[in-house]
């Protein structure tokens, strides 16, 4: 090797090392645990849950109207080995589901064609809730970014909201996009309470709010400020109702563990007539939810009696229609599949799936 070539090679190596170090340092600051989850081989087998026999006993009907069981189908564990799975969202055009592994600072992707699992995004700014908007763009609620962002069609990232009244948001948790483009999200403090699912920081907002963002002006407005910890959020198929979960019970007994429902005017960006929709979760709680085309509310359940872990389905009137039992605490779910009749369920360390007898609602309803 001549001297000129050697110097060039050394400089290139140094540059690469510097870039790598900078990259690693950046990821560490973003809250990545940096310690891989041990291989789960044998601990949690993939495929239909053990001892499954049709009709699957994991899908329990409590009311004749429950559209849960297809009869000839079972709850399946699709992937495992995550620290804390949350925030699933489905890309119809690509036929894959993405979901957060928050402490590992990554978003995972599972393709429906061959069950191929890969890392979709890392670092992910410890993102939690996600949704795919009507234009097919992914919106993310970033814990360590303390913002809502959107990945555009060309891959660029747009910051949708990171401040209100000149002060930083807490740590956006979940988001929904209405047919008129308005973006509704919740802002509890879970992502700044420690260094595990984000980066610890003091809240700058005096209350934990639900916000709406005007898609044209970018203005961020408070929709509701009377939550202890606003969490999952969903619109009814007709966009007349807004459901918001309060997981305040994590701050101590006596706090809410319920779903509230509001009359919503998506064009005015306002809600009214708030009331409790479902309130039978404590001492556990529900975290996330989606509506089906009939307006039923499908929500997660966990943190209480293990027998209650899973998914619940409530009628639009608030009656519990049925349960899908999952052998782990469940945080969130979404509808996917080519016909939106496949439920993807984020249960702690694993992703589960099953077919149901209904379809997920879209905004606008298609």
- Which residues contact Mg ion (rule: CB under 5 A)? 173-174, 231, 287-288
d(CA 238, CA 365): 7
Task: Give min distance, CB of 173 to Mg ion, in A.
Answer: 5
Least gap, CB of 222 to Mg ion (angstroms): 19
The reply to whether omega before 364 is within 30° of 0 (cis) is yes
CB closer to Mg ion out of 172 and 353: 172
When the beta carbons of 86 and 133 are compared against Mg ion, the nearer one is 86
By CB atoms closer than 10 A (0-12, 13-18, 19+), residue 178 is buried
Closer residue to Mg ion, CB minimum distance, 67 or 198? 198
User: Is the CB of residue 188 less than 8 Å from the CB of residue 247?
Assistant: yes
- Calpha distance 132→339 (Å, rounded): 16
Please, which residue, 143 or 150, has the CB nearer to Mg ion? Answer: 143
3-state secondary structure of 8: helix
- Closest to Mg ion by CB, 66 or 281: 281
CB of 92 to Mg ion, least distance (A): 23
Task: Give which of 119, 110, 175, 143 is closest to 31, Cα–Cα.
Answer: 143
User: In DSSP terms, which residues pair with 147 in a beta bridge?
Assistant: 142
Cβ atoms 284, 303 nearer than 8 A: yes
Tell me how far, at minimum, the Cβ of 232 lies from Mg ion, in Å: 5
Nearer to Mg ion, 69 or 332 (CB): 332
Shortest spacing between CB 85 and Mg ion, in angstroms:
12
Residue 11, C-beta contacts closer than 8 angstroms, at least 6 positions apart: none
User: What is the 8-class DSSP label of residue 250?
Assistant: G
In the bound complex, what is the minimum distance in angstroms from residue 188's beta carbon to Mg ion? 8
């Amino acid at each position: 090797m001549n001297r000129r070539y050697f110097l060039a090679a050394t400089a290139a190596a140094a540059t690469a090392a510097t870039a790598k170090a900078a990259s690693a340092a950046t990821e560490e600051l973003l809250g990545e645990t940096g310690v891989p989850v041990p291989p789960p081989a044998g601990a949690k087998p993939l495929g239909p849950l053990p001892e499954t026999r049709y009709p699957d006993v994991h899908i329990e009907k409590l009311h004749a109207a429950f559209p849960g069981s297809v009869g000839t189908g079972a709850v399946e564990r699709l992937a495992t080995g995550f620290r804390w799975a949350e925030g699933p969202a489905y890309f119809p055009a690509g036929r894959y589901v993405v979901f957060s592994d928050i402490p590992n600072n990554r978003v995972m992707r599972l393709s429906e064609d061959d069950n191929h699992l890969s890392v979709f995004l890392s670092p992910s700014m410890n993102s939690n809730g996600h949704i795919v908007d009507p234009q097919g763009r992914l919106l993310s609620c970033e814990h360590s970014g303390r913002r809502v962002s959107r990945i555009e069609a060309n891959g660029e990232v747009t910051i949708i909201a990171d401040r209100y009244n000149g002060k930083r948001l807490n740590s956006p948790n979940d988001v929904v996009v209405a047919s008129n483009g308005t973006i509704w999200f919740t802002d509890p403090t879970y992502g700044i309470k420690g260094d595990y699912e984000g980066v610890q920081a003091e809240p700058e907002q005096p209350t934990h709010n639900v916000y709406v963002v005007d898609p044209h002006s970018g203005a961020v407005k408070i929709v509701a400020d009377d939550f202890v910890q606003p969490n999952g959020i969903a619109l009814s198929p007709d966009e007349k109702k807004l459901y918001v979960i309060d997981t305040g019970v994590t701050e101590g007994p006596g706090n809410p563990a319920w779903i509230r429902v509001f009359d919503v005017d998506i064009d005015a960006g306002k809600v009214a007539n708030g009331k409790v929709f479902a309130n039978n979760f404590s001492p556990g709680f529900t975290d996330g939810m989606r509506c089906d085309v009939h307006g039923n509310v499908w929500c997660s359940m966990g943190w209480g009696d293990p027998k209650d872990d899973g998914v619940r389905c409530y009628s639009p009137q608030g009656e519990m229609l049925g349960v899908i039992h999952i052998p782990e605490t469940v945080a969130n779910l979404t509808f996917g599949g080519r016909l939106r009749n496949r439920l993807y369920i984020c249960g702690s360390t694993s992703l589960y799936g099953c077919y149901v007898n209904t379809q997920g609602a879209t905004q606008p309803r298609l």
